[in-house]
Homo-oligomer: A and B are copies of this chain.
Amino acid sequence: MQTEVRYYQEPRVNKPVMVCGLPGIGSVAWIAVNHLQKELKAELFAEVFSPMFSPKVWLTDDGLVKLMKGEFYFWKNNGSGTDLLLFSANEQPYSPEGQYELADAVLGVAQKFGVQRVITMGGMATEKFAEQPKIYVGGTDVGLVKELEEFGAVKLAGGAITGTNGLIFGLAKPRNIPAICLLAETPGYLSLDANAAKAALQLSSKLLNISLDLHALDKQAQENADAVQKAKDLSRGAFPHEGKRDDRDLSYVS
């Protein structure tokens, strides 16, 4: 069995930007792309099946079977911004080769639709909770990084990004597709960090010139903040190094 992209329709998109987010640290990228899909009512146009996913199936509340898979959505912009392709999946392939395989398949779709830019996202674990999470960025060229710094992002100078989100970003370069990776600051101990996802989307909306309603994320983000505050109140002094740690020591994991 080979990795296969199965098309349900061929969307007519004009110089689209592709935004990718697989599950990873804090689920930042996955939350962000799922919010984008729901908020914009982006339409499913293709799915990718692969023996590189884990060997199991899920059942919906209706008893319907769902494979582990990746999903491609499109959104046609009627305003002044750009058309979008979105990619997400319910897990990252478990093997290293599988992560390369999926990243390569995603970029194959990007190339087929003449994608102008690929944006991958992820979380950067900083071990502290930030109300306004910083966004760290890297790119396939200096111009892209500069453009993002103008929007308030912090340049990733050195370090590594592991996993499929990083590979989609990196493999875009030999395919000559301009790509950026946005890593939102996340404490690392949150499994679903809506606050970090919101910060990543705020920057993305400026970059894409698309206005986004982020209220649905606000609610979950507030719950996160409350839970973190409560934990801090209970264990005052339990994180003695918090705030002192040099961000430069961090290895970036998406």
Contact = CB atoms under 8 A, between A and B. Distances in A.
Where chain A touches its partner, the secondary structure class is mixed
Interface residues of A, number: 58
A62 interface: yes
A167 B54 CA distance: 10
B96 A55 contact: yes
A97 B52 contact: yes
A185 B97 CA distance: 35
Interface string A147-161: 000000001111111
A59 B58 CA distance: 37
B157 A55 contact: no
Contact of A65 (B57, B63, B138): B138
B56 A157 contact: no
A171 B67 contact: yes
Interface in A98-123: 99-101, 103-105
Contacts of A156: 59, 63
A1 B97 CA distance: 8
Nearest to A101: B1
A145 B60 CA distance: 12
Contacts of A103: 1
A10 to B, nearest CB: 17
Contacts of A234: none
Given A51-B96, A55-B96, A96-B54, A65 B140 contact: yes
Contact of A138 (B63, B94, B101): B63
Given A54-B96, A104-B1, A59 B161 contact: yes
A141 interface: yes
Nearest to A92: B55
Contact of A56 (B62, B67, B161): B161
Contacts of A58: 158-160
14 contacts: A1-B104, A50-B100, A51-B97, A56-B161, A57-B167, A58-B160, A59-B252, A60-B158, A63-B142, A63-B155, A63-B157, A65-B140, A67-B170, A67-B171
Interface of A: 1, 6, 47, 49-52, 54-67, 94-97, 99-101, 103-105, 137-142, 145, 155-164, 166-167, 169-171, 173-174, 179, 181, 252
